[in-house]
Structure 1
Amino acid sequence: MSAISILALDTSTEFCSVALYLNSLGTERAIFRHRHTGAVSSTHILPLIREVLDEAGLALGACNAIAFGAGPGSFTGLRTACGVAQGLAYGAGLPVIPVGTLLACAEMTRAPDAAPDRVVVALDARMDEVYWADYSWDKPSRSWVVNHDAALDAPDALPRPDEPFSLAGNAAAIFGDRLPLAGQAAAVLSDALPHASAVAALAARDYALGRTLPAHEAAPFYIRNKVAQTVAERQAAAGNRATLAHLAEGR
């Protein structure tokens, strides 16, 4: 097996998360930075990308692809990760791999060699709603099967699976008894949140299957619509563009 390296980004929550997935001769490892930054991930993400690349001694152009948490999640955060991934991919001539943030939460429930058979992911979506999805772990293929794709509902509207399941994500901690699934789950895994290392692991499987996109097709995945950027969002995006070009030159 030839060496594979994938840069992964996630800013869909209040964390700025960057990981570099490395697979050499079948040995996998990840270098990552995962920091609570609140709503200002855009000011942290580029320095963190530089940190993980420098730690690996790898130029951006030596990566095979750039993955990003595509959503659902914070509107500003999704734009940040997508925009940075797209800008770097353009400059370095790399493909992109969008990864669902709810699937990344499910991936975070995996132990090194195992995963719960059934995982419902429920994340706080604000406005008294939750983002949720339902997955099963397929042991023979070592991949996730989608039982119900990402959706947006009231916390008491989530359907109960017809078999034992684990509940991942922060919705149980946020909504408590207003999320009936929390009391019905075999385990509640509130720390299973979007993380770039999970985005990277999922992207590596997609890359092996040829599931990549050209940079110009990169786009966030929204469930709740919003049509305009705030002034602060536009300023943050403009401030990143010059640095993206500088990073890409390091290829």
Structure 2
Amino acid sequence: MNLLGIDTSTRSTVLGLQLGSELVDRTSADVDTHSREILPSIESLVREAGIGIKDLDAIVFGQGPGSFTGLRIAVGVVQGLGYGLGIPVVPVSSMACIAQSVISEINPPFVFVGLTARLEEVYYGAYKFEENIAVPVIPEGVVDVSELPQLPVGDWLGCGNAMPGLSSKIQEATGVSFKSISSEAVPSIRNLLSLGSFKFNRGESVSAMQATPVYLREQVASRPGKR
């Protein structure tokens, strides 16, 4: 199975191929590649891997939450390529991808991901580890830090860029104490494609034109009392 993976939800351009059991990583830390170089990078990646673009079976992409501009770029590329090639696409939560990167290295029972939104609002996700895959414990969302949902009792690791500044408030709101905190975890191509391959094999792909970003911000607008 040949999968192309793309995630531009952060400042990095996460890009790579899964060719059977082989992984080819072309991730770049340069935010400018989001718009200027992603298509040439894909063409170069496929050519260097020794396959044709038509040999791809599916495209895996990070659907957010994250950078508004980055998500729009990724979705546009995925829709165009997927539609043109007539292949399915596999949306993967960028927060689940972060959790997967932590889980694959440390293997804690539970992982909480907190990303800065605005002021003291956080994007959040909570996951457990099943069959080497990050599985959501609660639905992802975005709320004021004081309104975070309670988490199941257990050994939790906290990660994401919201953790250093808001960890005490997050722990108070969720009712758990984090065993350790990592602010450095970001999506990687290995973990994006691990989750994407898992979802693809479970039939959780969609048509190219159904590829959409997840901002979660809409949840804020829909809650009473939020402006």
Length-normalised TM-score, structure 1: 0.77
Higher mean alpha-carbon deviation, 143-152 vs 62-71, is at: 143-152
- Among 137, 144, 161, the alignment partner of 1:154 is 144
Matched with 1:232 is none
* Structure-2 change in CA distance of 1:34 and 1:157 (3 Å): farther
Q: Which amino acid aligns with 2:96?
A: L
Matched with 2:223 is none
Matched with 1:13 is 10
Q: Distance in 1 between matches of 2:194 and 2:169?
A: 33
Matched with 1:47 is 40
Quote the offset at 1:184 in angstroms.
2.5
Residues 230-245 of structure 1: pairs in structure 2 closer than 5 A: none
C-alpha contact 2:8 2:73 (8 A) present in aligned 1: yes
C-alpha contact 1:5 1:64 (8 A) present in aligned 2: yes
Matched with 1:235 is none
C-alpha contact 1:124 1:174 (8 A) present in aligned 2: no
Matched with 1:209 is 202
Matched with 1:242 is none
Deviations 1:149-204 (A, max 9, x none): 21112234434541111112221235465544799311212222123332211111
Q: Distance in 2 between matches of 1:176 and 1:209?
A: 35
Quote the offset at 1:117 in angstroms.
1.3
Q: Distance in 2 between matches of 1:88 and 1:164?
A: 42
Deviations 1:127-164 (A, max 9, x none): 432111111112xx443332112111223443454111
> In the alignment, does 2:217 pair up with 1:220?
no
C-alpha contact 2:117 2:123 (8 A) present in aligned 1: yes
Deviations 1:45-74 (A, max 9, x none): 223222321231121210110111111112
C-alpha contact 1:171 1:179 (8 A) present in aligned 2: no
C-alpha contact 2:124 2:141 (8 A) present in aligned 1: yes
Higher mean alpha-carbon deviation, 51-60 vs 70-79, is at: 51-60
> In the alignment, does 2:92 pair up with 1:99?
yes
- Among 172, 185, 190, the alignment partner of 1:197 is 190
* Structure-2 change in CA distance of 1:174 and 1:61 (3 Å): farther
Runs of at least 5 residues in structure 1 that lack an aligned partner in the other structure? 226-251
Cα RMSD (Å): 2.4
Q: Distance in 2 between matches of 1:177 and 1:188?
A: 11
* Structure-2 change in CA distance of 1:173 and 1:39 (3 Å): farther
Quote the offset at 1:29 in angstroms.
3.0
Q: Which amino acid aligns with 1:75?
A: F
Higher mean alpha-carbon deviation, 205-214 vs 156-165, is at: 156-165
Quote the offset at 1:38 in angstroms.
3.4
Matched with 2:133 is 143
Matched with 1:170 is 161
Identity, in percent, stands at: 32
Runs of at least 5 residues in structure 2 that lack an aligned partner in the other structure? 219-227
C-alpha contact 2:100 2:133 (8 A) present in aligned 1: no
